[in-house]
């Protein structure tokens, strides 16, 4: 699943990301409500983990804004232990479920699976395709022209990100943020290195090159 985590406690946000990625999910992180809303409005996530107490916009405002903009991505709110009124306001604002802090990661994963299932059934087969390149998100498998491509988890995440944004130029910074997190020391070399790995595996031997370089900007898949 493609999960957006909006949480201003950076350590917690990063732990959630790690736990999710260990389970094979792809994550985006946002550290305040405004940034979270902007990312959520793209509508491409399967589920959103949304803290209530956030700088800029709080979680409830984010949730309201999403529903107002007809983005129906399932939202799991993170709330303080005793905050019943917030929980009620959150559910009224269109959140789908809530989890009180502190929580066990197993429970977080279980709630997300439940929300994600609903979403997946309602929306998309978990499969991305560009030309003859197919990414099976459930089986974590990539194929081109019917031949399996072996990818490391990071390479898979990179290809998934490119395919989800088919035809859109992604900057090195966007890719770096998406794959390594906002706090990573910006070293766009890392991006170039991984793109070259993935490109070799995806495009080598095929006349139709799917991964393009936009000089000085970044990369684009399928344009």
Interaction site with Ca ion (CB under 5 A): 8, 51, 53
- Which CB sits closer to Ca ion, 8 or 34? 8
- Which CB sits closer to Ca ion, 83 or 97? 83
d(CA 184, CA 199): 23
Smallest gap, in angstroms, from Cβ of residue 195 to Ca ion?
Answer: 34
Smallest gap, in angstroms, from Cβ of residue 162 to Ca ion?
Answer: 31
The residue nearest Ca ion at its CB is 53
In 3D space, the residue among 162, 148, 167, 194 whose CA is nearest the CA of residue 26 turns out to be: 162
Q: Please report, for the chain, how many H helices and E strands are present, in that order.
A: 8, 12
Distances (CA, A) of 78 to 2, 64, 162, 170, 221: 18, 15, 29, 30, 35
- Which CB sits closer to Ca ion, 5 or 71? 5
Smallest gap, in angstroms, from Cβ of residue 12 to Ca ion?
Answer: 8
- Give the pairing type, strands 47-51 and 141-144: unpaired
d(CA 152, CA 147): 16
Smallest gap, in angstroms, from Cβ of residue 78 to Ca ion?
Answer: 8
- Which CB sits closer to Ca ion, 8 or 72? 8
């Amino acid at each position: 699943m493609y999960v957006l985590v909006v949480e201003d406690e950076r350590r917690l946000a990063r732990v959630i990301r790690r736990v999710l990625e260990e389970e094979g999910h792809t994550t985006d992180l946002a550290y305040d409500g405004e940034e979270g809303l902007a990312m959520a409005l793209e509508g491409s996530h399967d589920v959103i983990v949304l803290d209530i107490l956030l700088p800029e916009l709080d979680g409830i405002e984010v949730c309201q804004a999403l529903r107002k903009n007809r983005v129906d991505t399932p939202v799991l709110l993170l709330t303080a232990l005793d905050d019943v009124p917030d929980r009620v306001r959150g559910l009224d604002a269109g959140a789908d479920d809530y989890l009180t802090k502190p929580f066990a990661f197993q429970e977080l994963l279980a709630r997300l699976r439940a929300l994600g299932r609903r979403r997946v059934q309602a929306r998309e087969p978990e499969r991305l395709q560009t030309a003859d390149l197919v990414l099976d998100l459930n089986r974590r498998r990539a194929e081109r022209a019917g031949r399996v491509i072996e990818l490391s988890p990071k390479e898979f995440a990179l290809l998934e990100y490119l395919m989800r944004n088919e035809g859109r130029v992604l900057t090195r910074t966007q890719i770096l943020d998406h794959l390594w997190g906002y706090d990573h020391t910006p070293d766009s070399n890392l991006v170039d290195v991984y793109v070259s790995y993935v490109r070799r595996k995806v495009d080598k031997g095929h006349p139709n090159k799917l991964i393009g370089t936009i000089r000085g900007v970044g990369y684009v898949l399928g344009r």
